[in-house]
Amino acid sequence: MASPTILFFLIAFFFLAPPPHLQVQAADQAFTSVVISQKGLDFLKDLLVTQAVSSIIPLQLPKISKSKRIPFLGNVNMVLSNITIYGIDVGPSHFVLGDDGIAIIASGVTCNLSMNWHYSYSTWIAPVVVSDEGRASIQVEGLEVGLSLGLGIEEGTLKLTLKDCGCYVKEISIKLDGGASWLYQGMIDAFEEQIGSAVETSMTKELKDGVLKLDSFMQALPKEVPLDDNTALNMTFVNDPVLSNSSIGFEINGLFGRRNASVSEYHNKHSLSKYHNKDSQPLVSCSDPSKMLGISLDEAVFNSVAGAYFNAEFMQWIVDKIPDQSFLNTAGWRFIIPQLYKKYPNHDMDLNISLYSPPVVRISEHNIDATIYSDLIIDVLEEDRVIPVACISLVIRGSGSVKISGNNLAGSVKLNDFSMSLKWSNIGNLRLYLVQPVMWTIIQTVFLPYVNSHLGKGFPLPIVHGFTLQNAELVCSSSRVMVCSDVIYEASHSHNLNWLLHSFV
């Protein structure tokens, strides 16, 4: 019955946030909230029980022997060997969530066992050894399994402690086959207590070993998950898990930053300092209480992504192809910037676009607003060199939208307005009111399509491989985006679960 411990592994790795009625309160600030509802826990439990059972059977029990002196028969030696649990049928099971841990209780469990039996005795009447042997089938009914686990945080990782563990056998029936089994049935029945004790001991040991292995594994989980060669997600747990009577909640740092960065580097001026003035609030709030899970992301997460890529100097690109290619030749600018055409007649051009400050995202109940700070350098191309002639600073204000694409959170942005100023020029002053319509066209046809091509891919939500969001809903509130969803499991990934389960049994 390793399923409870394996189940908790997936709970710990699922990093999700709760449906609306799970009014779990966040004592300290976190940027990604993690809670699984009772419905989500039940879904995982039901899914994993079958996988867990298949991973621990056949389970070998120790040999049982008994020797007893019986009048007129002498010494009677009875041995039960090759005792094997080959089938487990789990009845009703459920979680009980407490203030500092969870109890997992399974009742009505039935185990099917097989064994070899051997029986021998010698009498004082004649020096003859009488023996017999055969096979037997055993059914253990009404087995109750209980496990109590404490949850905490230790150095940024989940800490799992075993508080209590037990297994109780209610009833055993034994049926012998082979030999003169009808003659020995009554004596073999005397082993019921020992067989029941062996089942209880072996099952309890499996549970304890599984919890210890699981805790070791969780302590070794990485504290950052790479997004690419330069950027990683900080998965450090913040604060102890938050438990209510119907959910388990987690809080993680959840910010993006440079790979192998210290924790303080994630807390940069672009993302952290502005978001520590929030009052205590539910980890998440969804409109549909029937959802299995939700994911709550603070706007600081989005700003940290922008900051990480800005610091990695990725937000720069050269534009040498646009829908209206005439704007990449000075002839196309002869009425907009006459001195450009006069100095460099019929020269090809490119546009060197770079961000001079990280984009800023603001999330409200009805809007997601983005502000992008960009420099656009106009380059004139000669045969052997590139000549920068002017730099225009742009402040682009747009409104964004988000959507679920598979297990990714994707999005797009559209232009609301922009402002511009001349940063420097080697061709004299520019009449910006003439340049502005061209800039609008470039932003609409070049800049935003480029940005949206990347936003459309999205970034992965923290979902265990093999699980897929289903009927997901997006909710925006003050400074947060929440994903509220059910999940399905793809049977084609069952080998992943089997590998995981065997790793901990």
Residue 132 in tokens: 């017999």
Specify the pLDDT at position 335.
Answer: 94
Distances 352 to 231, 347, 377, 386 between C-alpha atoms, Å: 24, 16, 5, 11
Question: 467 by DSSP, 3-state: which?
Answer: strand
Q: What does the pLDDT average to over 489-503? A: 52
Distance CA 214, CA 217 (A): 5
pLDDT digits (tens, 9 = 90+) for 310-351: 877 677 889 998 888 888 999 999 999 999 999 999 999 999
Of 48 and 440, the one with more pLDDT:
440
Distance CA 47, CA 40 (A): 11
Residue 504, pLDDT above cutoff 70:
no
H-helix segments, 358-488: 432-442, 448-455
Specify the pLDDT at position 500.
Answer: 45
Residue 10, pLDDT above cutoff 70:
no
Q: What does the pLDDT average to over 31-53? A: 77
Q: What does the pLDDT average to over 81-110? A: 82
Sign (positive or negative) of CA dihedral 331, 333, 334, 338: negative
Distances 329 to 93, 322, 351, 373 between C-alpha atoms, Å: 72, 11, 11, 25
Specify the pLDDT at position 340.
Answer: 95
The CA radius of gyration of the chain, in Å to the nearest whole number, is: 34
Specify the pLDDT at position 391.
Answer: 97
Of 490 and 455, the one with more pLDDT:
455
Specify the pLDDT at position 497.
Answer: 47
Specify the pLDDT at position 34.
Answer: 75
Residue 48 in tokens: 């994993």
pLDDT grade, residue 48 (50/70/90)?
Answer: low
Average pLDDT of every residue of the chain: 79
Residue 106, pLDDT above cutoff 50:
yes
Q: What does the pLDDT average to over 267-274? A: 44
Of 370 and 314, the one with more pLDDT:
370
In this structure, the strands spanning 74-89 and 93-97 are unpaired
Residue 22, pLDDT above cutoff 60:
no
Specify the pLDDT at position 90.
Answer: 82
pLDDT grade, residue 396 (50/70/90)?
Answer: very high
Residue 355, pLDDT above cutoff 80:
yes
Tally of CA atoms within 13 A in the half-sphere of 219 that contains its CB: 11
Torsion of CA 218, 223, 226, 232, to 10 degrees: 160
Distance CA 142, CA 62 (A): 22
Distance CA 158, CA 9 (A): 10
Percent of the chain with pLDDT strictly greater than 90: 23
**Closest to 461 (Cα-Cα) out of 17, 26, 8, 30:** 17
Of 495 and 7, the one with more pLDDT:
495
Residue 43, pLDDT above cutoff 90:
no
Distances 154 to 27, 158, 214, 221 between C-alpha atoms, Å: 17, 6, 15, 12
Q: What does the pLDDT average to over 461-474? A: 82
Q: What does the pLDDT average to over 72-101? A: 80
Distance CA 147, CA 164 (A): 6
Residue 93, pLDDT above cutoff 70:
yes
CA 276 and chain centroid, separation: 25
Specify the pLDDT at position 149.
Answer: 85
**Backbone region of residue 340 per phi and psi (left: phi > 0; alpha: psi in -120 to 50; beta: other values):** alpha
pLDDT digits (tens, 9 = 90+) for 198-233: 888 888 888 888 788 878 877 887 788 777 777 888
pLDDT digits (tens, 9 = 90+) for 116-144: 888 787 666 656 677 778 888 888 888 88
Distance CA 98, CA 27 (A): 17
Instruction: Evaluate the omega torsion of the peptide bond into residue 58 and state whether it is cis, within 30 degrees of 0.
Output: yes
Specify the pLDDT at position 184.
Answer: 59
Q: Are 467 and 488 in contact (CB under 8 A)?
A: yes
